[in-house]
Structure 1
Amino acid sequence: MEQNLIAIISIVAVFVSLLLSFFLLTVATNNKLGNVLLAAFIILNAIDLSGWFIYPVTRHYPDLEMFRRSTSALINPLFFLYALARCYTDFRLKPKHLLHALPFLIENLYLLPVCYLAEPAGKVSFLITYGGGYTGAIFMVFGHLQFAFYIIAVFLLLRKYRKVYLENYTDTATITYKWLFQLTVVITVVHTIVMFKDLLLFMGSSDIFNGAQIFVGINAVFILCWFVMKALYYPDLFRGIDSRLAPIEDSLPALAGEVPMKQQEGNEEQHKKIRQLKEYMSSAEPYLEPSLTVQDLAIQMEMPVRELSILINQHLNQHFFDFVNEYRIQKAMMILKDPAKSGLNIQEVFYQVGFNSKSSFHTAFKKYTDLTPTQFRNSFV
């Protein structure tokens, strides 16, 4: 009964995976490469999940079954490449990225003499003993270590992305970090369950193992649906950055011979630039543009981007993100205190001051005032 349930769940998961992959490959998008990598990632997961119901057929074709299992070595690299494609607008696949396929190639080179080129009886014997033998255990451990390596790489990528984004952009509605971070955490949790499931198999706890398989299968279906529907129906959720952008703190050591800005706080020239920046922000109100970037502001002020970025992030000790939002919140406070504008609802207010997301406006407003916009407005009634 449990085996039948596992097979049914896996069939549903594979069907949903292939259907969503088809949509990803055919839907119109500005980030076609990201969709292709995501579709490939989902298809390989479907191939992996298919083992729960396709084995009664593929056990008669050991070569095909072992090749199917070996494709799992490409799943983690594809997720990492997908994260790169989502984070960086200028990301392109290059020959060096083929290095990520080395584990897959090594595994198949090992399988060449012991399975692919072996006699029919040898193929069958290898397949039967693979799951409970040392070879299967080694590849299983390697798979979990590979996952750990790539998931750490994704977390490090997202940390850098978030830092650079906050130093250069202000549009929170399109930030990629939050969603990809949540997705990576979910995948990590599910893989931890898979690792526990594999451990149960080697310990001989078959009943618990089957229950864990059912749990993993059900979660796989829901995660796949959430994952792809989010990408399909909320394309504005993603905003990539230029891979050439680096955190400001990383660029400072390259300023050979220059005096650190913190040592120039008494320098009149620096004070003059800060006054010019603050006066421009107050008079021209560039922050009212929701998609304002540090590059846009630098062009408006006729100032080098790097100089402006260092001025804000180092001398004023603020991310560009927080620097701009502070002006937006101050503008919102003025509107909320104005009796003549009491007819405006909160949504109209945050649109007027440059926000395009209610949640990001509430978060920034409460961070700055310790009150929600409604509480702040009511305090002046």
Structure 2
Amino acid sequence: MNEVSLIGLFGALAGVGVVAALLMFGFFFFVKGKEDAKMKVVGLIFLAISLRLAKSIFYFLFEGIAPIGLALGFFGLASIGPLAYLLFAKGENLKNWRFVPHSLLPIGGAIVCFFVSPSPWETVLYKFATGLLALYLVGAWMAFSKQVKADKITGVWYQRLLIALALVWSCFVYQHLSGDMLAYALGAFFCAIVVYWFFFLSLRTPVAMGRTLKINLPDEKVELVQQAFESVGVYKRPGITINELSRDLEIPAYVVSKAVKELYGKSFPETVNHFRIKEVKRALVDPANSNLKIESLAYDVGFSTPSSFYYAFKKHTGVTPTGFQKLYELQSA
């Protein structure tokens, strides 16, 4: 098989890798993302990988629209790192992530690649983004190593995701170091192999496919979680996460999650807001609090901002805090 045929073969196999990455994006973002916001980030990571992997196909097979391929490829490459760091460093506090500074390079670099192509600046930008990706992955790994894992299987799955991202990065480095077109195509093929591996790994993993694990909860652990909410009032701690409570109680995070579900029929964040709103409702109708601002009551029960409080209150009660007070007064008259 001659060199041109090999390049075509590796390009076709890389194309299948793009399809696999897009399938994972759709599944994690639109299906699993309904249950867990972190899975949406996983989906976006694979969308970014698919864009970077597709760049080679655009650039070498569709020369007429190469600038579009270069721009989309750069946007994908420069987005992988920030998304990985978001996933592993922020965990459950995704809403507190300030993503704008991290989006400047993907957006700005993509614009430059589109308008200046062909230009040596493209190579400079791609190499810079590849180097920066390494730093993001190191930060993500350090954050992951400090986390309390929900359970062994979940921890292993996320660990393998990080390994897959590191392997994808090494494929990009190989492409930069390659001196000819065949080696570059081979790098794209290696990247696709990593995507295949993680795709089939996810098909066999309960974390990804949603198969639940049977867990017998010790009564004493359930009681600890119940006391934390009903006696200690752990929900009053601003920004409390399941990992923090897990460390406080010295029990695994997945046990905390299952205990909360068993006790209250809700997820951990839903339960936290349930107790917060319940206490605010009592305070709103207490005459002793008539001179207090509604926002101060929200801060007292653990809400960090007025906007998050008003949103949660309306979601749980269907009315605003002021509307709730008026309804109470009408019913009490």
Pick from 31, 43, 66: which aligns with 1:36? 43
Rate the CA distance shift 1:78–1:10 in 2: closer, same or farther, 3 A.
same
Counterpart CA distance in 1 for 2:81 and 2:49 is 13
Q: What are the Cα deviations for residues 11-47 of structure 1, in whole angstroms up to 9, with x where unaligned?
A: 2221342255135415732345135303422330232
Kindly provide the amino acid, as one letter, of the partner of residue 299 in structure 1.
A
Counterpart CA distance in 2 for 1:304 and 1:287 is 25
How much has 1:153 moved relative to structure 2? 1.8
Rate the CA distance shift 1:170–1:224 in 2: closer, same or farther, 3 A.
closer
Kindly provide the amino acid, as one letter, of the partner of residue 132 in structure 2.
F
Identical residues among aligned pairs (%) = 11
Rate the CA distance shift 1:220–1:153 in 2: closer, same or farther, 3 A.
closer
Residue matched to 2:197: 226
Structure possessing the higher radius of gyration over alpha carbons: 1
**Are 2:134 and 1:151 aligned?**
yes
Give the alignment of 1:106-255 within 5 angstroms.
106-107=108-109, 109-110=111-112, 130=118, 135-136=119-120, 138-165=121-148, 169=149, 171-175=151-155, 176-197=157-178, 200=179, 209-236=180-207
Residue matched to 2:306: none
Counterpart CA distance in 2 for 1:238 and 1:91 is 22
Counterpart CA distance in 1 for 2:96 and 2:47 is 14
Counterpart CA distance in 2 for 1:221 and 1:307 is 39
Gapped regions of structure 2 (runs ≥ 5)? 235-243, 256-333
Counterpart CA distance in 2 for 1:13 and 1:93 is 36
The TM-score normalised by the length of structure 1 is: 0.48
Q: What are the Cα deviations for residues 178-221 of structure 1, in whole angstroms up to 9, with x where unaligned?
A: 21332233123222312211xx3xxxxxxxx2442243133122
Rate the CA distance shift 1:238–1:159 in 2: closer, same or farther, 3 A.
farther
Gapped regions of structure 1 (runs ≥ 5)? 116-126, 201-208, 240-285, 313-319, 325-381
Kindly provide the amino acid, as one letter, of the partner of residue 130 in structure 2.
F
Pick from 85, 91, 94: which aligns with 1:91? 94
How much has 1:225 moved relative to structure 2? 0.6
Worse overlay, 217-226 or 44-53: 44-53
The TM-score normalised by the length of structure 2 is: 0.54
Contact persistence 1:85–1:91 (CA under 8 A): yes
Give the alignment of 1:71-82 within 5 angstroms.
71-82=72-83
Q: Count matched residues.
A: 228
Rate the CA distance shift 1:3–1:297 in 2: closer, same or farther, 3 A.
farther
Rate the CA distance shift 1:100–1:228 in 2: closer, same or farther, 3 A.
farther
Counterpart CA distance in 2 for 1:211 and 1:8 is 10
How much has 1:237 moved relative to structure 2? 6.2
Counterpart CA distance in 2 for 1:49 and 1:16 is 12
SS for the counterpart of 2:94 is coil
How much has 1:160 moved relative to structure 2? 1.8
RCO higher in structure (CA 8 A, sep ≥6): 1
How much has 1:154 moved relative to structure 2? 2.5
How much has 1:6 moved relative to structure 2? 0.9
Counterpart CA distance in 1 for 2:209 and 2:56 is 28
How much has 1:224 moved relative to structure 2? 1.4
